[in-house]
Amino acid sequence: MSEIRIEGLRHSYARNPTASDLWALKQVDHVWRDGGAYALLGPSGCGKTTMLNIISGLVRPSEGRIFFGQRDVTEVPTERRNIAQVFQFPVLYDTMTVRGNLAFPLRNRGVGKVERQARVEEVAAMLGLSDSLDLRAAGLGAAEKQMISLGRGLVRADVAAILFDEPLTVIDPQVKFSLRRKLKEVHERFKPTLIYVTHDQNEALTFADQVVVMYDGEVVQVGTPEDLYERPAHSFVGYFIGSPGMNFLPVQPDGERLVFPGGALALSGTVAGALPDRGALKLGIRPSAVRLSGGKDPGAIPADVIDVEVLGAYAIVELALGPTRIKARVRDGAPIPSGATGVTLPPEQTLLYSDERLIGALA
Amino acid sequence: MIQADNNRAWFLVLPVVLVVAFTAIVPLMTVVNYSVQDIFGPNTRVFVGVEWFREVIEDDRIRAAFARQFLFSFLVLLIEIPLGVAVALILPLRGWRSSLAVVAIALPLLIPFNVVGMIWQVFARPEIGLLGAGVNALGIPYNYTADPLSAWATIIVMDVWHWTPLVALLAFAGLRSISPAYYQAARIDGASRLAMFLFIELPKLRNVLTIAVLLRFMDSFMIYTEPFVVTGGGPGSSTTFLSINLVKMAVGQFDLGPAAAFSLLYFLVILLFSYIFYTILQQVANK
């Protein structure tokens, strides 16, 4: 087992890519640590599946190299890489029993009967498939079928990494939870590198130690779920993670202040001296960081409450700061003013972005 | 079970029942009617019971034609189904090459049956036909008008040329519908090309192949036009198939009673064998 290192990876499905939008992957350099549980998060069409297929060797990249440890595997065909992959829809060999399905990768690799049986029994016990080993795989439910797909990866003693391409799409919400727990168990027991592609942020955040966020063919941030929530490195991450997403306010620097239509904030903190000469500036603040100060705070920005949406344990308050709209998230039961009020944007939680990239906080 | 709330549904089914009655059931009943009567003239007819059926069953020529017909259908299925699947497997799956190949392969299916017969009749002539003259030039004696084996070979090859495209197109459609994820998973599982065929493609082709087997069985069992044009049933009666017999009986000799009895038996045999094929293929799949 070893880390998976990706260097200078670019990929296009077009034969002669010229325009930048023809590149499915624009530029990716990344190291997947050995034994890590990663989520690869991003919207549809951002290049997640392409990245996965390049790691497993189903797609050959246009440019760049892939290393498993010290070994360059860019040219190595799929069947000789130590990679297993679970697809969005369960892929089964319909005519075989569950046992036949689980044993198939081993039979293809010439593993002896005794060892094969032992591995199949072990993996089936782990995945809770022991009782259905002699049933026809085609007759089982979607969740069991995905377990079999996963099992075909786990039986191989040589597997260093298991790739998941949105494996829970067809699974009922109630069953999803137990499947995710099963995945965690598998990870703790076998310690393979897991790379889990999803566009569901809850799935990504509960599953992974490290979340890799992709946007438009590039990796925009790698971090723990907390990092992604508290300090999004790219405005897309702020917008994509959290419900509702981060508020963004286009601002103009004006001496010691940052001005937006409807208000201004003091330009303070480390970013004060580091303002780029050009590039569109934006302030980003999480709805949960926005404070409704009701006009008591002298530095508050005047605002009008225009809508309140109560969602169980919390409420979303939509505010108008002049022509600018922002959302605040407040705990249920906290007083919500109506009509004219004031808001405070705490500088340590107010982040400044230039051309969508984070420069720093206002404190 | 779902219980019907009222019987109004029957009215919705009624148009279909009427159409089927007039297009299928009524004509079939007239045949049943002929099969149990001896008709001398418009107003003179005698009820003869199962006499015609007995006559047909005991007729040696018809028995021989049945045997010939089974052999023909058996050979045709044996060649066309595997060949059709093989052709489908080597066709390009997507792109303009795929469209071109599909059109080229489908051409024989667009030719009228009697024209197919004419093409092969000329093509296979030992003295002037490209195929016939060519085979003879290789030193193999070949003359479909004189030698039963040559006649059979000609008709089998003609049928393979004419109908393998149908099997190939059905199999191709089946292959196209297989999600790429299956092939990707098989590559990750280290499966060989043969294993992919046996465990992915063949099982997924089950339904289209059932249709192909049934269609090819029924059509080959009813074959008439092409052998009639090429050999006329000869030499001797070596390529006289059931339908050629039937037409001679009904139209040539105007023996309506025996012809009707023969038709019914012919129909029942096709129905029975189609049912057997269908049942076997479904059971193989669910085993």
Q: Tens-of-pLDDT digits for all 287 residues of chain B?
A: 556 667 787 888 999 999 998 998 888 898 888 888 888 877 888 888 888 888 888 888 888 889 999 999 999 999 999 999 999 999 888 888 989 999 999 999 999 998 999 999 899 888 888 988 888 889 888 888 888 888 999 999 999 999 999 999 999 999 999 988 899 899 888 888 999 999 999 989 988 999 999 999 999 999 988 888 888 887 888 888 888 888 888 888 888 888 888 899 999 999 999 999 889 888 876 66
Q: Pick from A83, A91, A104: which is nearest to B181 by CB?
A: A91
Both tokens assigned to B188: 């990750």
CA distance A58 to chain B (A): 7
CA distance A275 to chain B (A): 48
Q: Quick check: pTM over 0.80?
A: no
Tell whether A67 lies on the interface with B, counting CB pairs under 8 A: no
Both tokens assigned to B111: 């030719």
**Helical (H) or strand (E) element with A197:** strand A193-198
Measured distance CA(A223)–CA(A211) in Å, rounded: 5
Task: Decide if A85 and B179 are in contact by the 8 Å CB cutoff.
Answer: no
Residue B116: per-residue pLDDT = 92
Contact (Cβ atoms closer than 8 angstroms) between residue A59 and residue A38: no
Measured CA angle at B65 (ends B217, B274), to 5 deg = 25
Residue B3: per-residue pLDDT = 63
Task: Decide if B185 and A91 are in contact by the 8 Å CB cutoff.
Answer: yes
Tell whether A120 lies on the interface with B, counting CB pairs under 8 A: no
Tell whether B112 lies on the interface with A, counting CB pairs under 8 A: no
Task: Decide if B179 and A89 are in contact by the 8 Å CB cutoff.
Answer: yes
Task: Decide if B188 and A149 are in contact by the 8 Å CB cutoff.
Answer: no
> B200 to chain A: which residues are within 8 Å by CB?
93
Most B CBs within 10 Å: which of A80, A87, A111, A136, as the mutation test of the B interface?
A: A87
Task: Decide if B188 and A79 are in contact by the 8 Å CB cutoff.
Answer: yes
Residue B4: per-residue pLDDT = 60
Measured distance CA(B269)–CA(B42) in Å, rounded: 31
Tell whether B189 lies on the interface with A, counting CB pairs under 8 A: yes
> B185 to chain A: which residues are within 8 Å by CB?
85, 87, 91, 149, 152
Instruction: Name the residue of chain A whose CA is nearest to B201's CA.
Output: A93
CA distances from A340 to A29, A323, A343, B46, B65 (A): 49, 14, 10, 105, 98
Tell whether A94 lies on the interface with B, counting CB pairs under 8 A: yes
Tell whether A50 lies on the interface with B, counting CB pairs under 8 A: no
CB neighbour class for A337 (10 Å; exposed up to 12, middle 13-18, buried from 19): middle
CA distance A42 to chain B (A): 21
Task: Decide if A78 and B188 are in contact by the 8 Å CB cutoff.
Answer: yes
Measured distance CA(B86)–CA(B77) in Å, rounded: 14
Task: Decide if B188 and A83 are in contact by the 8 Å CB cutoff.
Answer: yes
Q: Counting one residue from A and one from B, how many pairs have CB atoms under 8 Å apart?
A: 56
Per run of 10 residues, the mean pLDDT along chain A (length 363 residues) is 81 76 80 87 84 88 86 86 87 89 89 88 86 85 87 85 85 81 83 86 81 87 87 89 86 83 79 74 88 74 86 87 86 78 85 85 79
Tell whether A105 lies on the interface with B, counting CB pairs under 8 A: yes
Instruction: Name the residue of chain A whose CA is nearest to B189's CA.
Output: A105
Beta strands in chain B (DSSP E): 37-39, 45-47
Q: Given strand A71-72, what is the order of strands in its sheet?
A: A71-72, A63-68, A4-12, A23-32, A218-223, A210-215, A37-41, A193-198, A161-165, A83-86
Within 304-323 of A, beta carbons closer than 8 Å to B belong to: none
Task: Decide if B190 and A109 are in contact by the 8 Å CB cutoff.
Answer: yes
Tell whether B195 lies on the interface with A, counting CB pairs under 8 A: yes
Task: Decide if A85 and B195 are in contact by the 8 Å CB cutoff.
Answer: no
Q: Pick from B184, B191, B203: which is nearest to A94 by CB?
A: B203
> B193 to chain A: which residues are within 8 Å by CB?
none
Residue B44: per-residue pLDDT = 82
Both tokens assigned to A138: 């085609």
Measured distance CA(B92)–CA(A187) in Å, rounded: 41
Most distant CA atoms of chain A, gap in Å? 78
CA distance B233 to chain A (A): 45
Tell whether B101 lies on the interface with A, counting CB pairs under 8 A: no
Q: Pick from B184, B192, B285: which is nearest to A108 by CB?
A: B192
Task: Decide if B184 and A53 are in contact by the 8 Å CB cutoff.
Answer: yes
Task: Decide if B190 and A105 are in contact by the 8 Å CB cutoff.
Answer: yes
Tell whether A83 lies on the interface with B, counting CB pairs under 8 A: yes
Task: Decide if A79 and B204 are in contact by the 8 Å CB cutoff.
Answer: no
Measured distance CA(B45)–CA(B51) in Å, rounded: 14
Residue B241: per-residue pLDDT = 87
Choose among B228, B215, B227, B224: nearest CA to B270: B215
CA dihedral B183, B185, B187, B191 (to 10 degrees): -90
Task: Decide if B185 and A149 are in contact by the 8 Å CB cutoff.
Answer: yes
Predicted ipTM > 0.85: no
Measured distance CA(A209)–CA(B6) in Å, rounded: 61
Instruction: Name the residue of chain A whose CA is nearest to B184's CA.
Output: A58
